[in-house]
Structure 1
Amino acid sequence: MSGFKKFTDFLFSKQSLRYVCTTHFWGPVSNFGIPVAALLDLKKDADLISGPMTGSLIIYSLVFMRYSMAVTPQNYLLFGCHFVNELAQLGQGFRWLNHNYNSPKAITNEEKK
Protein backbone atom coordinates (compact mmCIF):
# COMPACT_ATOMS: atom_id res chain seq x y z
CA MET A 1 0.00 0.00 0.00
CA SER A 2 1.45 3.34 -1.02
CA GLY A 3 1.96 6.19 1.42
CA PHE A 4 -0.57 8.36 -0.40
CA LYS A 5 -3.20 5.61 -0.25
CA LYS A 6 -2.58 5.18 3.50
CA PHE A 7 -2.92 8.92 4.01
CA THR A 8 -6.18 9.20 2.06
CA ASP A 9 -7.60 6.15 3.84
CA PHE A 10 -6.78 7.78 7.18
CA LEU A 11 -8.04 11.20 6.09
CA PHE A 12 -11.42 9.86 4.99
CA SER A 13 -11.85 7.28 7.73
CA LYS A 14 -14.87 7.41 10.03
CA GLN A 15 -12.60 8.32 12.95
CA SER A 16 -11.09 11.33 11.14
CA LEU A 17 -14.43 12.56 9.86
CA ARG A 18 -15.95 12.16 13.34
CA TYR A 19 -13.10 14.27 14.78
CA VAL A 20 -13.60 17.03 12.18
CA CYS A 21 -17.25 17.26 13.21
CA THR A 22 -16.45 18.08 16.86
CA THR A 23 -15.79 21.25 18.82
CA HIS A 24 -12.44 19.68 19.73
CA PHE A 25 -11.50 20.51 16.13
CA TRP A 26 -13.58 23.57 15.20
CA GLY A 27 -12.93 25.47 18.45
CA PRO A 28 -9.18 25.77 17.87
CA VAL A 29 -9.62 26.29 14.12
CA SER A 30 -11.90 29.27 14.71
CA ASN A 31 -9.63 30.48 17.50
CA PHE A 32 -6.68 30.71 15.06
CA GLY A 33 -7.99 34.16 14.07
CA ILE A 34 -6.39 35.61 17.21
CA PRO A 35 -2.78 34.58 16.45
CA VAL A 36 -3.20 35.36 12.74
CA ALA A 37 -4.34 38.89 13.63
CA ALA A 38 -1.47 39.24 16.11
CA LEU A 39 1.06 38.15 13.49
CA LEU A 40 -0.36 40.64 10.99
CA ASP A 41 -0.25 43.37 13.67
CA LEU A 42 3.52 42.89 14.05
CA LYS A 43 3.89 45.06 10.92
CA LYS A 44 1.72 47.93 12.22
CA ASP A 45 2.88 51.04 14.05
CA ALA A 46 3.89 50.39 17.68
CA ASP A 47 1.75 53.36 18.80
CA LEU A 48 -1.30 51.17 18.24
CA ILE A 49 -0.23 48.45 20.70
CA SER A 50 -2.07 48.27 24.01
CA GLY A 51 0.31 47.16 26.75
CA PRO A 52 -2.39 45.95 29.15
CA MET A 53 -4.22 44.03 26.40
CA THR A 54 -1.01 42.42 25.19
CA GLY A 55 -0.17 41.38 28.75
CA SER A 56 -3.64 39.91 29.15
CA LEU A 57 -3.32 37.94 25.92
CA ILE A 58 0.09 36.59 27.00
CA ILE A 59 -1.46 35.25 30.22
CA TYR A 60 -4.57 34.02 28.34
CA SER A 61 -2.49 31.97 25.93
CA LEU A 62 -0.37 30.49 28.72
CA VAL A 63 -3.51 29.41 30.58
CA PHE A 64 -5.08 27.83 27.52
CA MET A 65 -1.86 26.08 26.50
CA ARG A 66 -2.00 24.42 29.91
CA TYR A 67 -5.72 23.72 29.58
CA SER A 68 -5.25 22.09 26.17
CA MET A 69 -2.92 19.54 27.75
CA ALA A 70 -5.08 19.01 30.86
CA VAL A 71 -8.25 17.93 29.04
CA THR A 72 -8.85 14.36 27.92
CA PRO A 73 -8.06 13.73 25.15
CA GLN A 74 -5.30 16.29 24.93
CA ASN A 75 -6.02 18.93 22.29
CA TYR A 76 -2.81 19.52 20.34
CA LEU A 77 -4.58 21.77 17.83
CA LEU A 78 -5.65 24.12 20.64
CA PHE A 79 -2.13 23.97 22.08
CA GLY A 80 -0.65 24.94 18.69
CA CYS A 81 -3.07 27.82 18.32
CA HIS A 82 -2.16 29.28 21.71
CA PHE A 83 1.55 28.57 21.24
CA VAL A 84 1.55 30.66 18.05
CA ASN A 85 -0.47 33.35 19.82
CA GLU A 86 1.97 33.32 22.76
CA LEU A 87 4.90 33.94 20.42
CA ALA A 88 3.05 36.70 18.56
CA GLN A 89 1.95 38.41 21.78
CA LEU A 90 5.46 38.22 23.23
CA GLY A 91 6.68 39.89 20.02
CA GLN A 92 4.03 42.60 20.43
CA GLY A 93 4.95 43.01 24.10
CA PHE A 94 8.61 43.45 23.20
CA ARG A 95 7.67 46.03 20.57
CA TRP A 96 5.47 47.88 23.08
CA LEU A 97 8.22 47.96 25.72
CA ASN A 98 10.81 49.04 23.19
CA HIS A 99 8.55 51.78 21.81
CA ASN A 100 7.51 53.15 25.19
CA TYR A 101 10.79 52.84 27.10
CA ASN A 102 13.71 52.60 24.66
CA SER A 103 12.74 54.70 21.65
CA PRO A 104 14.15 58.22 21.17
CA LYS A 105 10.61 59.58 21.74
CA ALA A 106 10.35 57.80 25.11
CA ILE A 107 13.82 58.93 26.16
CA THR A 108 13.01 62.58 25.27
CA ASN A 109 9.81 62.40 27.30
CA GLU A 110 11.76 61.11 30.29
CA GLU A 111 14.27 63.96 30.01
CA LYS A 112 11.47 66.54 30.03
CA LYS A 113 10.18 65.29 33.39
Structure 2
Amino acid sequence: MAATSKIQAIWNHPAGPKTIHFWAPTFKWGISIANIADFSKPPEKLSYPQQVAVTCTGIIWSRYSTVITPKNWNLFSVNVLMAGTGIYQLSRKIRQDYGSDAKEVTEKQLET
Protein backbone atom coordinates (compact mmCIF):
# COMPACT_ATOMS: atom_id res chain seq x y z
CA MET A 1 0.00 0.00 0.00
CA ALA A 2 2.80 2.44 0.87
CA ALA A 3 4.61 1.69 -2.40
CA THR A 4 1.43 2.33 -4.36
CA SER A 5 0.91 5.70 -2.68
CA LYS A 6 4.54 6.70 -3.42
CA ILE A 7 4.12 5.75 -7.06
CA GLN A 8 0.87 7.72 -7.22
CA ALA A 9 2.58 10.70 -5.58
CA ILE A 10 5.33 10.63 -8.21
CA TRP A 11 2.82 10.08 -11.02
CA ASN A 12 0.66 13.03 -9.90
CA HIS A 13 3.52 15.37 -8.98
CA PRO A 14 3.44 18.73 -10.86
CA ALA A 15 6.84 17.82 -12.35
CA GLY A 16 5.91 14.16 -12.80
CA PRO A 17 5.77 11.92 -15.86
CA LYS A 18 2.50 13.37 -17.10
CA THR A 19 4.13 16.75 -17.76
CA ILE A 20 6.80 18.29 -19.98
CA HIS A 21 8.57 19.28 -16.76
CA PHE A 22 9.50 15.63 -16.42
CA TRP A 23 10.22 14.68 -20.02
CA ALA A 24 12.41 17.66 -21.02
CA PRO A 25 15.04 16.99 -18.33
CA THR A 26 14.73 13.24 -18.91
CA PHE A 27 15.72 13.63 -22.57
CA LYS A 28 18.45 16.08 -21.52
CA TRP A 29 20.21 13.15 -19.84
CA GLY A 30 21.27 12.21 -23.38
CA ILE A 31 23.57 15.25 -23.51
CA SER A 32 25.25 14.25 -20.26
CA ILE A 33 25.60 10.65 -21.37
CA ALA A 34 27.14 11.79 -24.68
CA ASN A 35 29.58 14.01 -22.79
CA ILE A 36 30.55 11.05 -20.59
CA ALA A 37 31.10 8.95 -23.73
CA ASP A 38 33.45 11.68 -24.96
CA PHE A 39 35.73 11.11 -21.94
CA SER A 40 37.61 8.65 -24.15
CA LYS A 41 37.97 11.19 -26.96
CA PRO A 42 41.40 12.82 -27.26
CA PRO A 43 41.38 16.32 -25.71
CA GLU A 44 42.45 17.98 -28.98
CA LYS A 45 39.12 16.85 -30.47
CA LEU A 46 37.10 18.64 -27.78
CA SER A 47 35.46 21.98 -28.50
CA TYR A 48 35.80 24.93 -26.12
CA PRO A 49 32.50 26.54 -27.21
CA GLN A 50 30.59 23.27 -26.82
CA GLN A 51 32.01 22.49 -23.39
CA VAL A 52 31.55 26.06 -22.15
CA ALA A 53 27.91 25.87 -23.28
CA VAL A 54 27.40 22.53 -21.52
CA THR A 55 29.02 23.84 -18.33
CA CYS A 56 27.14 27.15 -18.26
CA THR A 57 23.84 25.48 -19.07
CA GLY A 58 24.39 23.03 -16.24
CA ILE A 59 25.25 25.76 -13.72
CA ILE A 60 22.44 28.14 -14.69
CA TRP A 61 19.69 25.52 -14.86
CA SER A 62 20.86 23.79 -11.66
CA ARG A 63 20.30 27.05 -9.83
CA TYR A 64 16.99 27.70 -11.57
CA SER A 65 15.66 24.24 -10.72
CA THR A 66 16.08 24.99 -7.00
CA VAL A 67 14.15 28.27 -7.02
CA ILE A 68 11.12 27.27 -9.08
CA THR A 69 7.96 25.85 -7.59
CA PRO A 70 7.58 22.93 -7.51
CA LYS A 71 11.19 21.84 -7.12
CA ASN A 72 12.23 19.76 -10.11
CA TRP A 73 14.89 17.36 -8.84
CA ASN A 74 15.16 15.60 -12.20
CA LEU A 75 16.09 18.95 -13.78
CA PHE A 76 18.50 19.68 -10.93
CA SER A 77 20.32 16.34 -11.12
CA VAL A 78 20.76 16.32 -14.90
CA ASN A 79 22.16 19.84 -14.84
CA VAL A 80 24.56 19.14 -11.98
CA LEU A 81 25.90 16.25 -14.05
CA MET A 82 26.06 18.47 -17.16
CA ALA A 83 28.08 21.09 -15.28
CA GLY A 84 30.37 18.42 -13.85
CA THR A 85 31.07 16.72 -17.17
CA GLY A 86 31.58 20.09 -18.87
CA ILE A 87 34.07 21.21 -16.22
CA TYR A 88 35.92 17.91 -16.51
CA GLN A 89 36.10 18.14 -20.30
CA LEU A 90 37.25 21.77 -20.14
CA SER A 91 39.96 20.83 -17.65
CA ARG A 92 41.18 18.08 -20.00
CA LYS A 93 41.23 20.49 -22.94
CA ILE A 94 42.99 23.25 -20.97
CA ARG A 95 45.61 20.82 -19.60
CA GLN A 96 46.27 19.57 -23.13
CA ASP A 97 46.46 23.05 -24.69
CA TYR A 98 48.22 24.98 -21.95
CA GLY A 99 49.85 22.39 -19.71
CA SER A 100 53.62 21.93 -19.47
CA ASP A 101 53.42 18.69 -21.48
CA ALA A 102 51.83 20.54 -24.41
CA LYS A 103 54.59 23.16 -24.35
CA GLU A 104 57.27 20.46 -24.36
CA VAL A 105 55.66 18.75 -27.35
CA THR A 106 55.46 22.07 -29.21
CA GLU A 107 59.11 22.82 -28.45
CA LYS A 108 60.16 19.38 -29.69
CA GLN A 109 58.18 19.88 -32.88
CA LEU A 110 59.88 23.24 -33.46
CA GLU A 111 63.32 21.68 -33.02
CA THR A 112 62.75 19.08 -35.74
TM-score range, shorter chain: 0.7 to 0.9
Q: Which of the numbers 45, 50, 70 marks the counterpart of 2:42?
A: 45
> For 1:96 and 1:44, how far apart are their aligned partners in 2?
11
Aligned to 2:59: 62
Q: Choose from 81, 85, 89 the match for 1:88.
A: 85
Equivalent residues, number: 106
Moved over 4 A (4+): none
Distance change (3 Å), C-alpha of 1:106 and 1:91: same
Q: Structure 2 counterpart of 1:6, which letter?
A: A
TM-score computed with the length of structure 2 as normaliser: 0.82
CA contact (8 A) 1:101 1:107 kept: no
What 5-or-longer segments of structure 1 have no aligned partner? none
Whether 2:10 is the aligned partner of 1:16: answer yes
Q: Give the equivalent residue in structure 1 for 2:71.
A: 74
Structure 2: any 5+ residue segments left out of the alignment? none
CA distance in 2, matches of 1:96, 1:88: 12
Deviations 1:39-78 (A, max 9, x none): 1111111111111221222111111111111211011110
Among all aligned residue pairs of Structure 1 and Structure 2, give the percentage whose two residues are the same amino acid: 25
What RMSD over aligned residues (CA atoms) do the two structures have, in Å?
Answer: 1.9
CA contact (8 A) 2:62 2:79 kept: yes
